[in-house]
């Protein structure tokens, strides 16, 4: 009889073990806290207006050194069919007298279904394709986020997103009306449609992007108060076999800007990359962004804008601009004099190497020129930019990176934009990023 109880005890133990495993699988709630602390020091020599002078008329030195800091705390909760994320952020220059920039970087809730449908509502970072037109621009200390409703489907190689934004000034919720200016976003309203398809069993992906951007125009309460609409539409394609890749994009911009000028602009880009081994690789590419023409360029004076009926200068709207057009951010981050855009050609080549584990280095060259036919007095070449960058992940959640850039500017750069007297511009930076996950709990 006693021997007969052994199988019963073994069966009961097995049943209890299976029940315990089943209970473990039912731990569907997940909560995490991630902290990112980023500090960056920069030294700049040249690059600002060469006509800046003190009150006594003496030139002001264009040499500058400063430190920046950013802290983000990401709180995230997930369970089946729901995900909630909140990221408060503080960014400031070291020693800044006021509170700097203290804001909510992200705050959204996402609902999903078993068949790939989702709805995401709140402030969120948008990233599409190579981030040339829409991206978070993480190099910027504050970054780009948008208050939107995003609906979509993802599955079987297909991704379809629809994004809708509508912005309002707080006082207008009491005073009435829909006039919007000076808020956290440059636009009044925006709609995005994005479709991406990854070809099965073939390393090819292609996207279509359509944007409709409503910009506030006119004065509040006046007869000319209205919203002007501009559109950006285009495609992005990437072919990426195992050791190399080719990507290309084309975008067309049209409609009207807030100044009620018609827009007729476009851009195209192509990039090829090859990685012969895991140790080193190369990139070569070319960007062309259309520009405005018909400018007056008096010798030795600022350029003068001749009023246009059509704007031909392409604007890459809300992209991660620092990734493109040279690390010194002369183009599409800082403005040209008098606000015009003569377009840009960016031909570049770069190499990268990983000499040891967790250490990477890269060297790049950019040839930069305008695309608009301004006048016979101005040559198209803006300058030549050389860049060196290195990154070291010395811990799993900590990294150190450094960069050095030189711009050899031409007389065209001095006339159209900004340059030091000798045309040689220098910029270097060093960044420490510490981003640990401090809590990861399931129940």
What are the tens digits of pLDDT across the range 372-411? 887 666 788 999 999 999 999 999 999 999 999 999 988 8
pLDDT of residue 321 exceeding 80 = yes
**pLDDT at position 16:** 54
For residues 42 and 53, the model is more confident at 42
Report yes or no: 141 and 124 within 8 Å, Cβ to Cβ.
no
CA-based torsion, 40, 41, 45, 50: positive or negative = positive
Residue 175: the pLDDT is 81
Output DSSP code: residue 53: B
**pLDDT tens sequence across 27-39:** 899 999 999 999 9
Whether the CB-CB separation of 198 and 155 falls below 8 Å is answered with no
Q: What is the pLDDT of residue 420?
A: 53
pLDDT, average across residues 290-298: 74
Distance CA 425, CA 297 (A): 23
Of 38-52, 349-363, 428-442, the one with minimum mean pLDDT is 38-52
Instruction: Report pLDDT digits (tens) over 105-141.
Output: 999 999 999 999 999 999 999 999 999 999 999 999 9
Taken in order 404, 137, 396, 358, the sign of the CA dihedral is negative
Position 1 confidence tier, pLDDT thresholds 50, 70, 90: very low
Structurally, the chain folds into a number of domains equal to 1
Cα–Cα distance between 416 and 339 in angstroms, integer? 10
So what's the pLDDT on residue 293? 78
Distance, in Å, from the CA atom of 246 to the CA atom of 284, rounded to the nearest integer, reads: 10
Give the three-class secondary structure for 19.
helix
* Least-confidence region, from 5-9, 221-225, 275-279: 5-9
| Residue, of 340 and 267, whose pLDDT is higher | 267
- Return all residues near 297 (Cβ < 8 A) that are at least 6 apart: 303, 304, 374, 375, 377, 378, 415, 416
pTM over 0.85: yes
Sheet strands (E) in 168-303: 189-198, 204-217, 226-239, 244-256, 262-274, 280-289, 295-296
> pLDDT tens digits, residue range 69-111?
999 999 999 999 999 999 999 999 999 988 889 999 999 999 9
The pair of structure tokens assigned to 393 is: 């992940």
In the 8-state DSSP scheme, what is residue 58? P
pLDDT digits (tens, 9 = 90+) for 268-291: 999 999 999 999 999 999 999 999
How far is it, in rounded angstroms, from Cα 253 to Cα 266?
6
Beta bridge partners of 195: 160, 208
More confident residue, 420 or 364: 364
Average pLDDT, the chain: 88
Q: DSSP letters along 282-341, please?
A: EEEEEEEE-----EE--TTS--EEPPPSEE-----TBS-GGGSS-TT-TTTTSPPGGG--
Token digits of residue 18: 């299976």
Confidence (pLDDT) at 206: 98
CA angle 253, 323, 374 (to 5 degrees): 50
Nearest to 369 by CA among 434, 432, 413, 313: 413
Q: What is the pLDDT of residue 374?
A: 74
Q: How far apart are CA 306 and CA 442, in angstroms?
A: 63
Q: Comparing 183 with 421, which gets the higher pLDDT?
A: 183
Instruction: Give the residue among 64, 68, 24, 67 at the shortest CA–CA distance from 47.
Output: 64
CATH of the domain at 408: 2.40.160.100
Is the pLDDT assigned to residue 180 strictly greater than 90? yes
- Mean pLDDT over residues 429-437, rounded? 98
The band of 416, judged by pLDDT with boundaries at 50, 70 and 90, is: confident
Q: Which domain holds residue 266?
A: 2-442
pLDDT confidence tier of residue 57, bands split at 50, 70 and 90 = low
Identify the CA nearest to 353 among candidates 241, 276, 267.
Answer: 276
């Amino acid at each position: 009889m006693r021997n007969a109880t052994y199988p019963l005890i073994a069966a009961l133990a097995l049943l209890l073990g299976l029940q315990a495993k089943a209970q473990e699988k039912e731990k569907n709630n997940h909560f995490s806290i991630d902290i990112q602390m980023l500090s960056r020091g920069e030294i700049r020599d040249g690059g600002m207006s060469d006509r800046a002078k003190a009150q006594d008329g003496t030139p002001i030195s264009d040499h500058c050194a400063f430190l920046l800091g950013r802290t983000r705390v990401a709180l995230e909760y997930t369970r089946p069919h729901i995900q909630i994320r909140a990221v408060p952020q503080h960014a400031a220059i070291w020693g800044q007298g006021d509170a700097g920039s203290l804001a909510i970087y992200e705050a959204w809730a996402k609902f999903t279904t078993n068949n790939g449908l989702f709805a995401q509502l709140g402030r969120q970072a948008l990233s599409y394709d190579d981030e040339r037109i829409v991206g978070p621009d993480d190099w910027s200390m504050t970054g780009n986020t948008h208050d939107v409703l995003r609906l979509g489907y993802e599955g079987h190689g297909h991704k379809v997103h629809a994004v809708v934004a509508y912005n309002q000034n707080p006082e207008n919720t009491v005073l009435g009306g829909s006039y919007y200016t000076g808020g956290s976003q440059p636009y009044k309203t925006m709609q995005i449609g994005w479709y991406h398809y990854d070809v099965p069993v073939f390393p090819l992906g292609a996207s279509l992007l359509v944007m409709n951007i409503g910009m506030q125009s006119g004065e509040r309460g006046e007869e000319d108060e209205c919203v002007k609409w501009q559109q950006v539409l285009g495609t992005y394609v990437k072919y990426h076999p195992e050791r190399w890749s080719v990507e290309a994009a084309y975008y067309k911009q049209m409609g009207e800007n807030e100044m009620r000028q018609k827009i007729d602009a476009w851009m195209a880009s192509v990039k090829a990359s090859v990685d012969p081994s895991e140790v080193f690789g190369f990139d070569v590419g070319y960007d062309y962004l259309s520009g405005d023409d018909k400018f007056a360029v008096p010798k030795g004076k600022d350029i003068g804008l001749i009023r246009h009926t059509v704007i031909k200068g392409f604007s890459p709207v809300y992209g991660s601009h620092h990734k493109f057009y040279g690390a010194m951010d002369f183009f599409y981050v800082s403005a040209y004099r008098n606000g015009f855009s003569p377009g840009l050609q960016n031909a570049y080549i770069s190499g990268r190497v990983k000499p040891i584990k967790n250490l990477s280095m890269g060297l790049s060259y950019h040839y930069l020129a305008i695309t608009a036919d301004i006048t016979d007095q101005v040559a198209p070449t803006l300058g030549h930019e050389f860049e060196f960058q290195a990154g070291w992940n010395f811990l799993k959640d900590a990294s150190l990176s450094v960069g050095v850039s030189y711009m050899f500017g031409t007389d065209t750069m001095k006339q159209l934009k900004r340059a030091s007297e000798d045309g040689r511009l220098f910029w270097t930076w060093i960044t420490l990023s510490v981003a640990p996950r401090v809590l990861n709990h399931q129940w």
